[in-house]
Amino acid sequence: MGFGEVKMARNALVVSQNGDNSVIDIETEFLSKMQTAVDGLIEPVYVSPNLTMWVNEEFLFRNSFEPNILGTAIFESIGGERPILGPVVFTGGTDSEGEVEGLADYDYQTLLSMSKVVISWAKMEAEA
């Protein structure tokens, strides 16, 4: 395994719309846990072969959802042109059998760092 491929078991990173984050174990009850995390039906956004961002498939129509700053920044980095609303979940890619993989430790640490920077930047912009 390469440096970025060390897996966190089958864990995923949940990032709420206010920037709070938590880790969930997706080894069992994958669909149920993911739907709970995004508050509805899930839709994958393929960021890279080793990173998938999961969103609520109806996020554009949910009035209670607010912009997810990290989710939007990641989406824009791959050419997305609209804000991501509501909570997002990050996992690894899929294995040869189509099973969703856990998030690599390196990717987990990178996402946490990015989250801190993006949230801090957004707060500074809001105060300006």
pLDDT tens per residue across all 128 residues of the chain? 444 555 557 899 999 988 889 999 999 999 999 999 999 999 999 999 999 999 999 999 999 999 999 999 999 999 999 999 999 999 999 999 999 999 999 999 999 888 888 878 777 777 87
Three-class SS state of 28:
coil
Burial class (CB in 10 A: 0-12, 13-18, 19+), 42: middle
pTM, whole model, 2 decimals?
0.87
List of long-range contacts for 80-85, beta carbons under 8 Å, 24+ apart: 80/45, 84/45, 84/53, 84/55, 84/59, 85/17, 85/56, 85/59, 85/60
What local confidence, expressed as pLDDT, does residue 117 receive? 84
Closest by Cα among 29, 23, 19, 12 to 72: 19
Domain presence at residue 85 = yes
Domain presence at residue 22 = yes
What local confidence, expressed as pLDDT, does residue 8 receive? 53
Q: CA 126, CA 111: separation in Å to the nearest integer?
A: 22
Domain presence at residue 65 = yes
Domain presence at residue 3 = no
Domain presence at residue 77 = yes
Give the residue numbers spanning the domain of 30: 8-127
Domain presence at residue 100 = yes
93: its two tokens: 């890619």
**CA angle at residue 99 from 8 to 59, to 5 degrees?**
85
What local confidence, expressed as pLDDT, does residue 31 receive? 96
Domain count, the chain: 1
